Chain A
Amino acid sequence: MESRGAKWRWGLLDVVVVVFALIPVLWIMSLSFKTTNTLTDGHFIPREWTLENYKTIFQTDQFVRALVNSIGIALISTLIAVVLGTMAAYAIARLDFPGKGLLVGVSLLIAMFPQVSLVSPLFDIERRLGLFDTWPGLILPYITFALPLTIYTLSAFFKQIPWDLEKAAKMDGATQGEAFRKVIAPLAAPGVFTTAILAFIFCWNDFLFAISLTSTERSRTVPVALSFFTGDSQFEDPTGSISAAAVVITVPIILFVLFFQRRIVSGLTSGAVKG
Chain B
Amino acid sequence: MADIVLDKVGKQYPDGTVAVRDVDLEIADGEFVILVGPSGCGKSTLLNMIAGLEDISSGELRIGGERMNEKAPRDRDIAMVFQSYALYPNMTVRENMAFPLRLAKLDKATIDEKVAEAAKVLELTELLERKPANLSGGQRQRVAMGRAIVRSPKAFLMDEPLSNLDAKLRVQMRTVVSRLQKRLGTTTVYVTHDQTEAMTLGDRVVVLRAGVVQQVGDPQTLYDHPANLFVAGFIGSPAMNFLSARALDGALRTALGDVPIGDRLRGMLERGEAPQEMILGVRPEHFEDAALVDEAARAKGREFEAPVELVESMGSDKYVYLTVEGERASSAELEELAADAGAADLPAGGANLVTRLSAESRVREGGPYKVWFNLEKIHLFDPSDGRNITLHEGRAAGIS
Roughly how many angstroms separate A168 CA and B147 CA in the complex, as a whole number? 10
The reply to whether A167 and B103 contact each other, CB–CB distance below 8 Å, is no
Given contacts A172-B147, A173-B74, A174-B74, contact A167 B104 (CB under 8 A): no
Contacts of B297 in A (CB 8 A): none
Task: Kindly state the separation between the CA atoms of A164 and B79 in the bound complex, as whole angstroms.
Answer: 14
Proximity string of chain B (69-97) to chain A, C-beta cutoff 8 Å, 1 when within and 0 when not: 00011100011101110101110000000
Query: Is A175 part of the binding interface, using a Cβ–Cβ cutoff of 8 Å?
Result: yes
* Inter-chain contacts of B147 with A (CB < 8 A): 168, 172
CA distance A80 to B150 in the complex (A): 42
Which residues of chain A are near B89, meaning CB under 8 Å? 187
The CA-CA distance from A167 to B104 in the complex, in Å, is: 17
B371 within 8 A of partner (CB): no
As a 0/1 sequence over residues 173 to 191 of chain A, the CB contacts with chain B under 8 angstroms (1 = contact) are: 1110010001100110000
Do B84 and A173 touch (CB < 8 A)?
A: no
Interfacial chain B residues near A174, Cβ < 8 Å: 74, 103
* Complex contact B74–A164 (CB within 8 A): no
Residue pair A162, B104 in contact (C-beta under 8 Å) = no
> Is there a chain B Cβ closer than 8 Å to A65's Cβ?
no
Interface residues of A in 123-180 (CB under 8 A from B): 162, 164-165, 167-175, 178
Determine if B260 is an interface residue (Cβ-Cβ < 8 Å).
no
Known: A172-B100, A172-B147. A167 touches B72 (CB 8 A): no
> What chain A residues lie within 8 Å of B78 (beta carbons)?
171
List A contacts of B171 (CB < 8 A).
Answer: none
When distances are taken between beta carbons in the complex, the residues of chain A under 8 Å from B74 are: 170-175
- In the complex, are the beta carbons of B88 and A167 less than 8 A apart? no
CB of B100 within 8 A of CB of A173, answer yes
A182–B102 CA distance with the chains assembled, in angstroms: 11
B90–A170 touching, CB < 8 Å: no
Contact of B73 among A164, A165, A171, A182 (CB under 8 A): A171
Q: Does B41 contact A (CB under 8 A)?
A: no
Task: Please give the distance in Å from A205's CB to the nearest CB on chain B.
Answer: 33
Q: Are B103 and A173 touching (Cβ within 8 A)?
A: yes
Complex CA distance for A222 and B112, rounded to whole angstroms = 56
**What are some 15 contacts across the A-B interface (CB < 8 A)?**
A164-B82, A164-B84, A164-B86, A165-B86, A168-B80, A168-B82, A169-B99, A170-B53, A170-B74, A171-B73, A172-B74, A172-B99, A173-B100, A173-B151, A187-B89
Excluding A164-B83, A167-B80, A171-B73, 9 further A-B contacts by CB distance (< 8 Å) are: A167-B51, A167-B82, A168-B88, A170-B52, A170-B73, A171-B80, A174-B74, A182-B99, A183-B88
Instruction: State the A residues within 8 Å of B (CB).
Output: 162, 164-165, 167-175, 178, 182-183, 186-187
Q: Which B residues are within 8 Å of any A CB, using their own CB?
A: 51-53, 72-74, 78-80, 82-84, 86, 88-90, 99-100, 103-104, 147, 151, 157
